[in-house]
Structure 1
Amino acid sequence: MATESTVTAPPTAVERPRPPRSGLSIGLARAGWYISLTLLAVVVLFPIYMLVIRAISDPISFINAGQPLHIVSAQWDVFSRAWSDAGLARAMGVSAVATIVIMGAQFMTSVLGAYAFAFLEFPLKKLLFAIVIGTLLLPIEVTLVANIQTVRSLGWLNSVQGLTFPFLATALGIFLIRQGFLGLPRDLRDAATLDGFGHIGFLFKVAIPLAKPVIGSFLVISFLSAWNQYVWPRNATTEGAWQTVQIALRTLTTTRVDQINLAFAGAIIAALPLVLLLIFFQRQMVRGLTAGAVKG
C-alpha cells in the first residue's frame, strides 16, 4: 500500500517592519535639506546681487570703499541713462519681434516633425530621426558662413527675415515634443481615427492639447535662446536700427571707470524679461520636461 508523502515548503524569512522614524530624525533630515537649498540659493543669487550693487553704486566711490557688499553713493538714474544711451527701447523691440517669429515658426515645425516621428511610419524613419538629432551637435559657427552668404544673396541683411531665417526649425523642439507625443496612449489615435479625425485634426485637437506641458517648456527654451542670440545678429545686421538688445549692450562697454556701471545697468534691463519669464513659468517648465521624459 502506497503511502502519500507530503512536501512542506521551506520556511520563508519574514521581513520585520522597519521601526518608524522618530520626529527628531525627520526634523534633522528636513533641516539638512533646507540648509543645502539655502546655500545653493546663495551661490546662485550672489552674482546677481553683486550685479545690482555694482550697477547702482557710483563706480569711483565703490572702488575707493574697497568694493563692499552694499551700495555706495547710489546713482538711481543709471537705468534711465543706460536705456537712452544704448537705445534699448528700439533694440528690445527688434529682439521681441525676432523672438516671436522664431517661437512661432519653431512651434509649427517642431509639432509637425514630432508628429511624423511619433505616429507615422515611413522608410528610414530611425535613420532620419538620428540625423535630425545629430544636428544638435553642430554649433552655429559651423554653418555661420554658409548662412550669411545665403541671407546676403537673398537681400535679407538688416531685416526680420535675416534675423530669423536660420532658426525657423530646431531639432531640440522635435525631440522634446516627440517624447511628449510618445507618452500619449496609442488607443487615442485609434479612437480619433474612428471618430473621423485625420492627421491634422488629431494633431491640433488631441495631441497638442494633451502635450501642453512639454510644448510650453519648449517654448520657454525657445524664447530664452532667441532672446540671448549674439553671434548671428552680430553678423546679420550692419545698421544700428536693426541691432538686437544683446548687440546694443556693446555700446555701453567703456574703458572709463566712472561709467562702467552703465554696462551693468543695461545687462539688468536686458535680462529682466528672462527673469520674469522664469519666475512665472518655472513650474510649468519643470513639469513639461519631466512629462516628456516618461516614455521614449
Structure 2
Amino acid sequence: MSTLSIDPDRLAPTAVPAARNRGRERGPRRPRWMTALLFAAVLGTIGIFLVPLYWLFSSALKPRQDIYSWPLQWIPTELTLENFVVAWTSAPFDRFFVNSIVTTGVGTALEISLAVLCAYAFVFVEFRFKKAAFVLIIASMMLPGHVTLIVNYLTVANLGWLNSYAGIILPGVASAFAMFLLFQSMRTIDEDILQAAEIDGAGHLRRMLTIVVPLSSPMILTATLIVMVGKWNEYVWPLIVTSTTDMRTLPIGLLFLRSQEGYSNWGAIMAGAVFVSLPMLLLFFLAQRRIIGGLAAGAMK
C-alpha cells in the first residue's frame, strides 16, 4: 500500500505570500507625523477637560493657604473636608438638592413623554398640516431660548406660579430637540410590524407602548440623559421665577454661597461647585456607553 507524503518545503513558498497579502489588505500605513498629530490632539483634549476638573476637586480639598499660595500648589499639602462643611452650613444645600431633584426628575419625565408622543404622531399618524407642523417645531430649534423668557415669565406670573415647582418645570417641558432625536429613531421602524399589530386589534397607544418604545429604547435613554443634564444645570429660568431661598436650585445655590462667603473663601465655593457638578459627572460616567451607543445607532440608521 502506498502512503501519501507531503513535502513541507513545497508548502512554505505559498504560505509566505498569503501572509504578505493579508498584510497588504490593511491599506497604506499612516504617516508618523499624522499619528503624532492625532496623539497630541487627544492629549490636548484630555488636558482641557481634566485640568479644570482636577483643579476644582483639589481646591475643594485644600486648606486655605494652599489655594492662595504662589506658585500654584497643584498637589495639596494636606487633605481636608473643612471646605465641604463650611459650604453645607453656609447655604441650605439640602433644600437646594431637593429642589433640583424634583424639578429635574419631573421635568425630564414630562419632556420625554411629550417627545415620545409627538415623535410617534409625526411618524405613524396621518393628520392635516402634518408637514407644516413638523417644520414649525424644527424651526423653533433655531431660536435662542432667551427670546421666550419675557413671554414665559409674564404667563407664569399671571397664573400665580412664581416661586413654585410648576413655574420652574412646566414652561420647559416641550423640547423640539428630544422630539427630533426620537423622530429619527422611530422612522427606521418597519411599518409592517405595526400593521400586523393593527390587524390584531392593537390601537395607537398599545402599538406605541409595546412595539415602538421598546425598539426605540436606546435613543429614548440617550435623550433622557441629555435632557436630564440640561435641566440639572439650568440657571437662568429658575433664577428669574424664584425669589425665595427655599425654592432655589443647586446652580443658584452656588451663587447664594458666593454672596455669603464673598471672594475670600474660594475653598468653600469650590466645594459648593463639587456639590453641583458631582451628580451629573457620576451619571455621565456610568451611562456614557449608552449615550454614545444610542447616538451612534441613530447615526447608523
Quick check: TM above 0.5?
yes
Is the aligned partner of 1:124 residue 2:135?
no
Is contact 1:183–1:294 with CA below 8 Å preserved after alignment?
no
Report the equivalent of 2:141: 136
SS in 1 for 2:123: helix
Is contact 1:50–1:69 with CA below 8 Å preserved after alignment?
yes
> Quick one: distance in 2 between partners of 1:275 and 1:260?
21
Report the equivalent of 2:120: 115
Give the stretch that moved more between structures: 231-240 or 41-50: 41-50
Report the equivalent of 1:263: 269
Give the stretch that moved more between structures: 133-142 or 71-80: 71-80
Give the stretch that moved more between structures: 174-183 or 254-263: 254-263
Which structure 2 residues correspond to residues 1-296 of structure 1 after superposition, within 5 A?
19-20=24-25, 37-253=42-258, 256-295=262-301
Report the equivalent of 1:13: none
Count of residues in Structure 1 that have an aligned counterpart in Structure 2: 279
> Quick one: distance in 2 between partners of 1:66 and 1:205?
62
SS in 2 for 1:265: helix
Q: What per-residue deviation string (whole Å, max 9, x for no partner) do you get for residues 171-206 of structure 1? A: 111101111101111211211112211111100010
Is contact 1:58–1:261 with CA below 8 Å preserved after alignment?
yes
> Quick one: distance in 2 between partners of 1:93 and 1:293?
36
The AA in structure 1 aligned to 2:292 is V
Q: What per-residue deviation string (whole Å, max 9, x for no partner) do you get for residues 2-31 of structure 1? A: xxxxxxxxxxxxxx9872559x98x99999
SS in 2 for 1:54: helix
Is contact 1:177–1:292 with CA below 8 Å preserved after alignment?
no
Following TM superposition, by how much is the alpha carbon of 1:56 offset from its aligned partner in structure 2, in angstroms?
1.9
The AA in structure 2 aligned to 1:229 is E
Give the stretch that moved more between structures: 214-223 or 44-53: 44-53
Is contact 1:102–1:226 with CA below 8 Å preserved after alignment?
yes
> Quick one: distance in 2 between partners of 1:197 and 1:28?
60
> Quick one: distance in 2 between partners of 1:21 and 1:291?
26
1:257–1:246 distance in 2 versus 1, CA, 3 Å: closer
Percent identical among aligned pairs is 32
> Quick one: distance in 1 between partners of 2:134 and 2:262?
52
Report the equivalent of 1:5: none
> Quick one: distance in 2 between partners of 1:236 and 1:53?
34
> Quick one: distance in 2 between partners of 1:256 and 1:250?
10
Is contact 2:66–2:76 with CA below 8 Å preserved after alignment?
no
> Quick one: distance in 1 between partners of 2:168 and 2:135?
28
Question: Given the two structures, how large is their TM-score scaled by the length of structure 1?
Answer: 0.86
Q: What per-residue deviation string (whole Å, max 9, x for no partner) do you get for residues 84-133 of structure 1? A: 21211110110100111111111221111000111122222222111101
> Quick one: distance in 2 between partners of 1:100 and 1:256?
32
> Quick one: distance in 2 between partners of 1:283 and 1:45?
19
> Quick one: distance in 2 between partners of 1:48 and 1:209?
37
Is contact 1:180–1:211 with CA below 8 Å preserved after alignment?
yes
Following TM superposition, by how much is the alpha carbon of 1:293 offset from its aligned partner in structure 2, in angstroms?
2.9
The AA in structure 2 aligned to 1:220 is L
> Quick one: distance in 1 between partners of 2:26 and 2:181?
40
Is contact 2:67–2:267 with CA below 8 Å preserved after alignment?
no
Is contact 1:60–1:258 with CA below 8 Å preserved after alignment?
no
The AA in structure 2 aligned to 1:278 is F
